[in-house]
Structure 1
C-alpha cells in the first residue's frame, strides 16, 4: 500500500523570478520532493510587477500583499497568510528564515495545529538569530520558537552552535545542508572549457567569478577594490559579477577595467565551468548555494571563513579559506592561485569530491522527506479548525 502524499507549505520572503540562494535552493528541491511524495506550495510576499498567484514549474505560488510601512509588513503578511493556510490545510509548514516566515508559521500552528519546520538561513553577526535579537520582542519570540517549532533545520556548525547557545534542544536541531545538482554542475575537460570560453566571449585572461546578491554583507565592493592591483600583475584578469541587488549601481560606479556585471543569469553553470576561480568574500553566510555550485563544477574556491564554508573546505586542500573583511589576505590568495594552475586543478578536484560525497541535492530532498514524515507522525492534527 502506497504512502499518502504530504503537502508542505513553504513560507519564504521572496521566490522566483526573484533570485537569491534560498529561492534557488527551494526551486531546485521542489521537483525532487514531488517525486518522493511531497507536494509543495509556496507562500511569499508580493513585490511590484508580480502576480498574486501563478504556477512556476508546476508549483503553486501565492504572493501576499504587504501594504504600508516596513514596520508593519510582517504583521500584514501574517494576517494574509493565516486564512490562506486555513484553506490549504498543509501537513507541514516549512519556514525559511527565523523572522517573519517563522513568526507566521508558529501563529498558524497555534491556530491550526500544523507542525512547523524552521530553516535558519544565516549565522553570525548579521544572521537570523542576531537579527531576531534586535527586533521588537525578539527574545520573547525566540523563546516561543523554542517551544513551538518542531524542528530547526541547521545548515552549518556555526548555526548549530548559535541555536545550542539559545537553549534549543539537540533533538530539535536537525542537520540538513543545502544541496547541489552535481550532474548539472560538473567540470569540463580542457578542450571543452576552452571552447566554452570562446562561446561566452571570455578571451584568454585569468577569470574569476562572484555569483550572488549584490548587498552590503557580501563585501563585493572590497573585492572590486582589489582588481586594479591584480591587473598590475595579470593585465587581462577579469572578474565576472553574476547577480543583482540594491548595491549594483554603487558597485558599477566603483568598478574599473576588467569588471563585468552580467546581471541575473538564468544558468550560471557555463560561467563556473569556464572560469579559473570562484570568490566568495561575504562577511556572513549560511551555506552558500553559489559556493556549492562552484565546488561541484570543479572550480577552485576562495571563501571567507564564515557560515558553512569551513564545514566543507579544508584550507589549501579542497579550497582556500580567508578571513572576512581582510582584502589584503584575499589579494594574496587570488594572486597565488592565478599563478598556480596545477594547484587550482587539485583544489577543484578535491572540492568536487567533498560536495559529491556530502552535499548532493537528491540526498537533501531525501532528508527533508524523512523529517516531514517524522514530525507529521509525532504531531496529531486537531479535528476542529479555528478560522
Structure 2
C-alpha cells in the first residue's frame, strides 16, 4: 500500500485504509503501508498489526517527492510485493509505476476523488502533470473507482471497462449502528443538547472543499423553522478557527475527536455540503448510524442516496436547495426517521466493510500472476 499520509494523520483515504488493512491481514495477506514521514512520527511502526514504513520528504516539495520516490523504491526492492496498491493517482501511483517498470509488479490504483478538484483534474492541470497521465492510461493494471462519477471520468479518459473495478468504500456496520433511545438520550445529555429537538451533524475536515461556510450562512434561516435546533460541526482543519469565531447561535464545535459515534448518536440528520468528494466515509458512517443524510450531489453521494427514499441530494453550492431540504427535515421528524432507517438498511446491505475487503482480496488475486496469495 502506498499513500501520502497515514495514521495518526487522518483523512477519508487514511481512515479507509486503516480499516481495511488489518482485515486483509486477517485473510492471510502480508500488508505493508508506505507513506511519508511527517515531523514527530516514527520511521517504522506497527499500527493495528500492519507494518508502516514512513519515508523521508526533506526540503522543497519537488526535492521531497524525489527523495520519497527513491526511498520507496529501495523499500519495495526489499519487500518484493506481489501487488502494489496506490491510493491516489498522483505521487503514490507515480511511485508504484516506477516499481512496475523495474520489477513488473502489478499496480492497482485507487482514484480518491472526481470532479473539478479530483485526481484526474489535477493531472490535467498543466503540461508536467499531464505527462503523468499517459503512463497511467497504459500501465496501471486496475483502477479502483469508488463512485459512478469517477467511473465516468475514467471511461472518458479511455480506460476500458475491464481495467476499472467498482469497489466503493465500506463502513464497519457493527461499530457504526443506530443508537437506542437510551443511547441517544445519554449522548444528548452529555453534550447539553435538548432531548426532543432536531440535531444536525457534520463530521470531517473543516476546510474549504467541505463548504461549511455556506451551511453556516443558512443556519439562522433553518433555525426559524426549528428555533431549538442544534448543529454539531465535528472535526478540525484550516477553516476551523475562522468559521468557529463567526458561527451563529446553536452551532457547537467539539473539535477533532477520536470517535465520532457519540455525536452521530446524538443527531437526527447528517449534512454534507461539500464541493467535491470521492465517496465520503463520514457520510457512510452517518447513514450506518441511521441518520437522514442531506448531501451535495457530488462524488459517490449519488450512489448511496436515493432521493426521497433514504435522504436528499442537492446541487453543489446551491444554498436555496440545501436550505429547503434541511428545513423540510427539521420540520418533519417522521420523514427524517423514515429516511434514517432506510439509510441504515442500504448501508448494511451494500456498503459493509467486509464486502469491500472481500472485493479487494479478489482483485489482488485477479491481477497476481499464477493467482498466488499476494503480499
Task: Give the structure-2-normalised TM-score.
Answer: 0.95
Is contact 1:92-1:376 (8 Å) kept? yes
4+ runs deviating over 3 angstroms: none
Greater CA deviation, 252-261 or 30-39?
Answer: 252-261
Is contact 1:239-1:260 (8 Å) kept? yes
Deviation at 1:135, TM superposition (A): 4.3
> After superposition, what is the alpha-carbon deviation per residue over 1:168-193, rounded to whole angstroms, capped at 9, x for unaligned?
11100001110011111111232332
Aligned partner of 2:41 in structure 1 is 50
Is contact 1:115-1:379 (8 Å) kept? no
2:75 aligned with 1:84: yes
Deviation at 1:19, TM superposition (A): 1.1
Deviation at 1:309, TM superposition (A): 0.6
Aligned partner of 1:171 in structure 2 is 162
Aligned partner of 1:127 in structure 2 is 118
Is contact 1:91-1:115 (8 Å) kept? yes
> After superposition, what is the alpha-carbon deviation per residue over 1:267-321, rounded to whole angstroms, capped at 9, x for unaligned?
1122112201100001111000000011111100000111011111111111111
2:57 aligned with 1:66: yes
Aligned partner of 2:280 in structure 1 is 288
Aligned partner of 1:32 in structure 2 is 23
Aligned partner of 1:3 in structure 2 is none
Match of 2:7 among 10, 16, 20: 16
Aligned partner of 1:196 in structure 2 is 187
Distance of 1:48 and 1:203 partners within structure 2 = 42
Aligned partner of 2:143 in structure 1 is 152
Aligned partner of 2:242 in structure 1 is 250
Distance of 1:49 and 1:328 partners within structure 2 = 44
Is contact 1:29-1:361 (8 Å) kept? yes
Deviation at 1:249, TM superposition (A): 2.0
Deviation at 1:229, TM superposition (A): 2.2
Is contact 2:183-2:265 (8 Å) kept? no
Match of 1:373 among 365, 368, 375: 365
RMSD: 1.6
Match of 2:230 among 228, 231, 238: 238
Is contact 1:212-1:244 (8 Å) kept? yes
Distance of 1:202 and 1:116 partners within structure 2 = 49
Distance of 1:220 and 1:161 partners within structure 2 = 27
Match of 2:309 among 305, 317, 339: 317
Output aligned runs, 1:90-101, within 5 Å: 90-101=81-92
Is contact 1:53-1:63 (8 Å) kept? yes
Greater CA deviation, 158-167 or 47-56?
Answer: 47-56
Query: How many correspondences in the alignment?
Result: 371
Deviation at 1:123, TM superposition (A): 0.4
Is contact 1:280-1:304 (8 Å) kept? yes
Aligned partner of 1:385 in structure 2 is none
2:296 aligned with 1:304: yes
Aligned partner of residue 265 in structure 1, secondary structure: coil
Instruction: Give structure 1 stretches of 5+ with no counterpart.
Output: 1-9, 381-387
Greater CA deviation, 82-91 or 233-242?
Answer: 233-242
Distance of 2:282 and 2:10 partners within structure 1 = 12
Greater CA deviation, 67-76 or 179-188?
Answer: 67-76
Aligned partner of 1:116 in structure 2 is 107
Task: Give the structure-1-normalised TM-score.
Answer: 0.92
Alpha-carbon spacing, 1:263–1:40, altered in 2? closer, same or farther (3 Å) = farther
> After superposition, what is the alpha-carbon deviation per residue over 1:98-148, rounded to whole angstroms, capped at 9, x for unaligned?
001001110111112211100000001111000111144333321101211
Distance of 2:347 and 2:224 partners within structure 1 = 34
Is contact 1:43-1:81 (8 Å) kept? yes
Is contact 1:221-1:254 (8 Å) kept? no
Deviation at 1:378, TM superposition (A): 6.2
Greater CA deviation, 56-65 or 91-100?
Answer: 56-65
Deviation at 1:212, TM superposition (A): 1.0
Is contact 2:365-2:371 (8 Å) kept? no
Alpha-carbon spacing, 1:242–1:225, altered in 2? closer, same or farther (3 Å) = same
Instruction: Give structure 2 stretches of 5+ with no counterpart.
Output: none
